[in-house]
Structure 1
Amino acid sequence: MNIIVTGASGFVGQNLTQYFANKQYKMTALSLRNENWAESLEQNATALIHLAGKAHDVENTSNPNEYFHINRDLTIKLFEQFLQSNIRDFFYFSSVKAVVDTAQSIVDEYVEAKPLTPFGQSKLEAEQFLLSQTLPIGKRLFIIRPCMIHGAGNKGNLNLLYKVVEKGIPWPLASFHNQRSFLSIDNLNFLIGQMLLKDNLASGVYHFADDETLSTNELITLISKTLDKKPKLWFIPIGIIKSLVKVGDILPLPLNSERLKKLTESYVVSNKKIKQALGIEKLPVTAKLGLEKTILSFKARGTES
């Protein structure tokens, strides 16, 4: 099997490339930074997995136009090349943030799309274009909306929580009660691999998430136990916390309103559609096992440094 990957140097790209290399698949990295990328696009691959994109900037310092140029316009150009090629499958990695920024209920593929940020809006507009196109016979389009992906080498809010626990800092947001979906990179790799093997899988939008959810307090407890530490949870009144983070919106502090929302909101994503489509009951890695693996990778990296 021959697979082309954009964004191969990123976290997901590196892991997918290694996963498929272990299966003896031929992997080709396509850099969209190269002005002549269209000329180097292999025409007879099995699949084109489009990972390259501009990620959400929690500091809100990016030019909004950059999101649309990279996430929408480049995707459109790439898809047009795909339509003219002999490549069978096009995987577009979007995000659950393309439809919902704050989830009041379980997020599935049928939720009404109301993205609030340039990141989500640019992803949605790319999706809308792809879905509006007529696919030639024999071609398939898969729009993947993952929730928060984690694994060895991962950065972001999970790494921030790890550092809080590692340094023995009490978790001051324990008064916020939530449930969140996570996605282990191992489960992501597995799902993409199964989709490639299932010849009769229907084109469409598919949400990726682990089978179980965890609260942030449960995650803090899991990190603590993995590090052989006693969980330190501080139940400070929510009103006081919300007043304090307003300072972080002005000054460069570790906690601002955007990060507070990411750390404390509930965000549950359904993976029911993709599992039914693939005929699987459970993903190979549980949410806790996957998170433990990621946490241990942080610990190992800290020991080496």
Structure 2
Amino acid sequence: MSHKVFLTGASGFVGSAILRRLVSDGTTVIAAVRQGNLASSPLVRSVQFHSFEQENDWGGALTECDVVIHSAARVHVMNDTETDPLAAFRRVNVEGTLALARQAIAAGVKRFVFISSIKVNGEGTQPGKPYTANDTPQPQDPYGISKLEAETALQALARESGLEVVIVRPVLVYGPGVKANFLNMMRWLDRGIPLPFGAIHNRRSLVALDNLVDLVVTCMSHEAAANQVFLVSDGEDLSTTELLRRMGQALGRPARLLPVPAGLLSTGAKVLGKGSLSQRLCGSLQVDINKTRDLLGWHPPVKVNTALQAAARHYQEYDKT
């Protein structure tokens, strides 16, 4: 079945990858971008672009679309300067999402795929006790709270209207063009900086960009995806130590890791006011994707090492400074 898709966040890290995949598949796409200029994109001839704002009237653009993929969001930031961060997240992630969903319903859209976040589940797990899609949500920060509120409101709209809502909660996404902490990690390794992460025995689920995109595309049309919540990962959990070793191998720069005990690292990070960073480096966050596999017959098509190599190649060509 061919689709006409309305895609938000099309200039973002995840949204641009979804856009490339849809165009490659021959899907008709209307792409909404909140910022960034895609006029020079090679996709410009095959994609209709619009500027995305929360107050936009999308009635015309949504006409004849049968699927909305909503990847635009106010994302989690380390040092938020907003006086009321929750209100800022709610304006975009809740109110903006619902405005789009209501217009989609009015236009006759059949399915709404919402890219949420594992932060809806919480911030960490005990090793061997992964989050599942059916767990009671326990968001800990304004971003996670706003994503949960958006999910809950979308599910209510679905019950009232018949709109099929599919919610996808990714863990940390990495791949070509990744930014923030993952990019910093590649820079540290590339420069041969000794890192005190040689004795971290946590377990973390990650998801390669291509794996996430593949699941989103699957959720566009799979009958069993309607009104479901899915967690997504690569299906192989790594410790921080193992991730650094494999990333170093992908870069051709063997990781120089010092075996500093995790407890000492955690204590030092808290003293320096970096407790949240310590949690990400030393703590565990695992997800169980059995529901995703069983209900959709979906399996991550890209292996971890292959995805790390793709991220390394992009870094070496475009991001190395």
TM score, norm. by length of structure 2: 0.86
Aligned residue among 149, 165, 168 for 1:125:
149
Alignment CA distance shift 1:190-1:260 (3 Å): same
Matched, 1:231 2:255: yes
Cα deviation 1:188-219 (Å, max 9, x = unaligned)? 12112222242453321111111111111111
Give the match for residue 261 of structure 1. 279
Identity of aligned residues (%): 27
| Cα RMSD after superposing both structures | 1.9
For 1:213 and 1:288, the matched residues in 2 are separated by 12
Give the match for residue 82 of structure 1. 104
Moved over 4 A (4+): none
Alignment CA distance shift 1:130-1:36 (3 Å): closer
Deviation at residue 34 of structure 1 after TM alignment: 6.4
Give the match for residue 163 of structure 1. 187
Deviation at residue 35 of structure 1 after TM alignment: 3.6
1:11-160 alignment, distance < 5 Å: 11-30=13-32, 31-33=51-53, 35-62=55-82, 63-64=84-85, 65-104=87-126, 105-133=129-157, 134-137=159-162, 139-160=163-184
Mapped contact 2:262–2:282 kept (Cα < 8 A): no
Amino acid at match of 1:22: S
Alignment CA distance shift 1:123-1:241 (3 Å): same
Cα deviation 1:138-184 (Å, max 9, x = unaligned)? x4110110111111111122112111111111121333321111111
Runs of 5+ unmatched residues, structure 2: 33-50
Aligned residue among 213, 233, 236 for 1:189:
213
Give the match for residue 229 of structure 2. 205
For 1:89 and 1:136, the matched residues in 2 are separated by 11
Deviation at residue 135 of structure 1 after TM alignment: 4.9
Give the match for residue 302 of structure 2. 285
Deviation at residue 231 of structure 1 after TM alignment: 2.5
Deviation at residue 121 of structure 1 after TM alignment: 0.6
Cα deviation 1:212-233 (Å, max 9, x = unaligned)? 1111111111122222233211
Give the match for residue 252 of structure 1. none
Provide the secondary structure at the position in 2 that maps to 1:214: coil
Aligned residue among 155, 169, 175 for 2:199:
175
Amino acid at match of 1:97: K
Give the match for residue 253 of structure 1. none
For 1:276 and 1:167, the matched residues in 2 are separated by 42
Amino acid at match of 2:30: T
Alignment CA distance shift 1:32-1:245 (3 Å): same
Alignment CA distance shift 1:45-1:172 (3 Å): same
Query: Which stretch of structure 1 is more off in the superposition, 61-70 or 211-220?
Result: 61-70
For 1:302 and 1:120, the matched residues in 2 are separated by 29
For 1:230 and 1:193, the matched residues in 2 are separated by 36
Mapped contact 1:6–1:50 kept (Cα < 8 A): yes
Alignment CA distance shift 1:296-1:144 (3 Å): same
For 1:199 and 1:112, the matched residues in 2 are separated by 25
Amino acid at match of 2:225: L
Runs of 5+ unmatched residues, structure 1: 250-255
Cα deviation 1:58-88 (Å, max 9, x = unaligned)? 2243441111111111112111112222111
Amino acid at match of 2:133: E
